[in-house]
């Protein structure tokens, strides 16, 4: 996947001897589970599928001779592509009684926008980590959660392991520890989805189907606890199938019908995105990748491989 890269405040002259700071955060390939919280009627809980595709943020400090502080702030806050990232930087600095440093910001991401791959959350987290490195401050999970809470419903991409996570209240329910990886062969459908616009319709749907989700919620926790990854894949399929009734994937049933032919263990989707694909407990061989590549091509998609964990 090609990275998207952009610079903000590009008027400065930067040389190779200047210090550069970076923050990195990986993204997600949708969710192994998404549904209602058993404890809060207005909350969505998720298990994000952490993958090795990243958002990267670079900061090069300069001694400003071009802008006043207010002019600099206006420039970065008016950047249409990174409003949330700079809002996060502002909140982080306020929480820590620090000034927002002046310099050149550069964003580079493997994660497509509005596809269900946590691109927005990853940008925010990478920005915070970049500032933490600039100010030589240790990672502070509580501060990060406060920043996310002020900005958006988020994924748990800032954690190292698969986690059951409250996406609006930003609370960690349960971390599942280090597990063997799962593998996904996936594609993107055409339509993008703006996650910010989906919470109300999701909550209403989840409440109407609460009994189904309660059983699924308990089952997936149990199978993660048992480290039964084949059952986790089957439950991921069920979560994706339930989601068809509210935010359907055009090719879900076609892909589901062919699951046994490709010896897949399950299906994964971005419940509020465009990603859909097969899950495998064992890494698929090149012959399987080729067969699924042809199949996805006929559906209008490009086959990609991701390791989840």
Query: What whole-number distance in Å separates Cα of residue 258 and Cα of residue 242?
Result: 18
- The 10s digit of each residue's pLDDT in 115-173 is 999 999 999 999 999 999 999 999 999 999 999 999 998 999 999 999 999 998 899 99
Determine the pLDDT at residue 65.
61
**SS3 of 195, please?**
helix
Q: Per-residue pLDDT for 1 more than 50?
A: no
pLDDT the model gives residue 275: 96
In tens, the pLDDT along 65-106 reads 666 777 777 777 777 789 999 999 999 999 999 999 988 899
Q: Please report, rounded to a whole number, the percentage of residues in the chain having pLDDT higher than 90.
A: 78
Calculate mean pLDDT across residues 52-69.
84
Our count of domains for the chain comes to 1
Which stretches does DSSP call E strand in the chain? 4-8, 21-36, 44-61, 103-109, 163-166, 171-175, 182-188, 266-269, 275-280, 304-308
Backbone dihedral region for residue 220 (phi beyond 0: left; psi -120 to 50: alpha; all else: beta): alpha
Give pLDDT tens digits for 233-278.
999 999 999 999 999 999 999 999 999 999 999 999 999 999 999 9
Indicate if the pLDDT at residue 282 is higher than 90.
Answer: yes
Please write the tens of the pLDDT for every residue from 189-222: 997 766 667 888 999 999 999 999 999 999 999 9
Return the SS3 of 146.
Answer: helix
Provide the pLDDT for residue 202: 92
Q: What is the pLDDT of residues 257-268, one digit of tens each?
A: 999 999 999 999
Q: Which contiguous run of DSSP H or E holds residue 77?
A: helix 69-77
For helices 141-151 and 83-95, give the axis angle rounded to 10 degrees. 130
Give residue 167's domain range: 4-308
Q: Angle at CA 64, nearest 5°, toward 96 and 59?
A: 55
Predicted confidence at residue 9, as pLDDT, reads: 55
Q: Which has the higher per-residue pLDDT, 152 or 32?
A: 32
Rounded-to-integer distance, Cα 246 and Cα 272, Å: 10
- Per DSSP bridges, beta strands 171-175 and 44-61 are unpaired
**pTM over 0.85, yes/no:** yes
DSSP structure string for 116-142 = SS-HHHHHHHHHHHHHHHHTT----HH
Residue 191: per-residue pLDDT:
78
pLDDT of 248 reads 93
- The reported pLDDT for the residue numbered 199 is 83
Residue 13 pLDDT exceeds 70: no
61 strand-pairing partners: 103
Query: According to the model, what pLDDT value does residue 131 have?
Result: 97
**First and final CA of the chain: distance in angstroms?**
19
Which SS3 state, helix, strand or coil, does residue 286 take?
helix
DSSP per residue, 210-260: HHHHHHHHHHHHHHHHTT-HHHHHHHHHHHHHHHTTTS--TTHHHHHHTTT
Which residues share a beta bridge with 165? 46, 172
CATH code: domain of residue 119: 3.30.230.10
User: CA-CA distance, 241 to 142, in Å (whole number)?
Assistant: 34
pLDDT at position 2: 44
Output DSSP code: residue 209. T
Q: What is the pLDDT of residue 180?
A: 95
């Amino acid at each position: 996947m090609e990275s998207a890269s952009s610079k903000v405040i590009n008027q400065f002259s930067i040389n190779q001897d200047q210090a550069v700071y970076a923050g990195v955060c990986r993204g997600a390939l949708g969710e192994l589970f998404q549904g209602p919280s058993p404890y809060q009627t207005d909350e969505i809980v998720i298990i994000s599928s952490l993958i090795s595709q990243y958002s990267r943020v670079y900061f090069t400090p300069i001694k400003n001779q071009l802008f006043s502080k207010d002019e600099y702030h206006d420039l970065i806050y008016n950047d249409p592509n990174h409003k949330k990232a700079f809002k996060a930087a502002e909140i982080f600095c306020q929480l820590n009684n620090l000034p927002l440093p002046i310099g050149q910001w550069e964003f580079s991401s493997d994660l497509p926008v509005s596809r269900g791959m946590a691109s927005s959350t990853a940008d925010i987290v990478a920005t915070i980590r970049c500032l933490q490195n600039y100010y030589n401050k240790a990672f502070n999970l509580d501060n990060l959660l406060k920043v996310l809470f002020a900005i958006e419903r988020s994924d748990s991409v800032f954690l190292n392991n698969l986690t059951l996570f409250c996406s609006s209240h930003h609370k960690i329910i349960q971390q599942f520890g280090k597990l063997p990886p799962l593998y996904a062969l996936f594609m993107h459908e055409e339509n993008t989805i703006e996650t910010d616009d989906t919470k109300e319709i999701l909550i209403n749907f989840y409440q109407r189907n609460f009994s189904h989700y309660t059983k699924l919620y308990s089952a997936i926790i149990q199978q993660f606890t048992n480290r039964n990854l084949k059952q986790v894949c089957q439950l991921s399929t069920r979560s994706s199938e339930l989601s068809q009734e509210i935010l359907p994937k055009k090719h879900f049933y076609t892909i589901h019908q062919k699951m046994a032919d490709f010896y897949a263990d399950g299906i994964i989707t971005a419940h509020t995105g465009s990603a859909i694909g097969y899950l495998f407990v064992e890494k698929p061989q090149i012959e399987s990748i080729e067969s699924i590549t042809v199949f996805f091509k006929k559906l209008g998609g490009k086959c990609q491989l991701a390791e989840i964990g």
